[in-house]
Amino acid sequence: MAKYHLHLAHLYGDLLNTYGDIGNIIALKYYAKQMDTDIQVDVVSIEDDFDPDQFDIAFFGGGQDYEQMVVSKDIQTKKDGIKKFIEDGKPMLAICGGYQLLGKYYVGADGEKIPGIGVLDHYTLTQSEHRSAQQNQSRFIGDVEIQNEDTGAKFHGFENHNGRTFLGENERPLGHVLAGHGNNGEDGTEGAIYLHTYCSYFHGPILTRNGELAKQMLLEALSIKYPDADLTPQEGLIVQPTF
């Protein structure tokens, strides 16, 4: 029997699982086992309540336009719970569509402005509004490499997105782009960090290729749930400042 136990919320895991991003949960379970920890995973989906006190860690993936539209309406009912979860400093990973929906809004491929829940300050435009500068490119697709400005750690992944995301107040990038396009192809940023919430356009999935981030999230979750436990920091983890 494992020494520690974590409860993970997979937000809309039955609808948003593009590019096999459920692999992030598999990676978390893999590293958790090495840390004598088991993880219970529950999908929180349409019409489900989200109790932030019930969960220790969360994952929010991306999906196709139709599924994201459905989620964008339902998630408004979970806004307060998600905001509390984030502000309590519990770790969350949001990828692609999940990343966009945590922000103020995103503009879909057809030009419709779709509201997010605004618990983070970024917003997302569409590339169709900016094609002249991108040589008629309609998506950012390909391998991407970034470097975290605090530790120098490098992250590798694959991006495939139409959105151009711009960070807001109290957000900093997961990393600065060394290769690829990143958040918007303009300012050299990729992803976002706010408290212990990590956002990215990295598929791959990100945690299977960048295990240090998975271990970082697990240690953050364990330190909150087990404040008296001896959780020795592991090499290569992001040093997370307090905003």
Q: Which residues make up each annotated binding site for substrate?
A: 139
The closest alpha carbon to 167, from 150, 187, 139, 140, belongs to: 187
Angle at 109 between CA 99 and CA 171, to 5 degrees: 25
199 assigned to active site = no
Question: Which is catalytic among the residues 10, 96, 181, 196?
Answer: 96
Is 11 in contact with 199 (CB distance < 8 Å)?
Answer: no
203 is catalytic: yes
CB 21 within 8 A of CB 53: no
* Bridge partner residues of 44 (DSSP): 11
**In terms of C-beta density within 10 A (0-12 exposed, 13-18 middle, 19 or more buried), how is residue 24 classed?**
buried
Element (H, E) at 70: helix 65-74
From 10, 181, 196, 203, the catalytic residue: 203
Contact between 193 and 174 (Cβ < 8 Å): yes
Which position has the token pair 């990393």? Answer: 175
Q: Annotated binding site, which residues?
A: 139
Spatial separation of the C-alpha atoms in residues 233 and 191, rounded to whole Å: 24
Residue 101, Ramachandran bin (φ over 0: left; ψ between -120 and 50: alpha; else beta): alpha
Name the strand (E) or helix (H) holding 142. strand 140-147
Q: Which residues are catalytic?
A: 96, 203
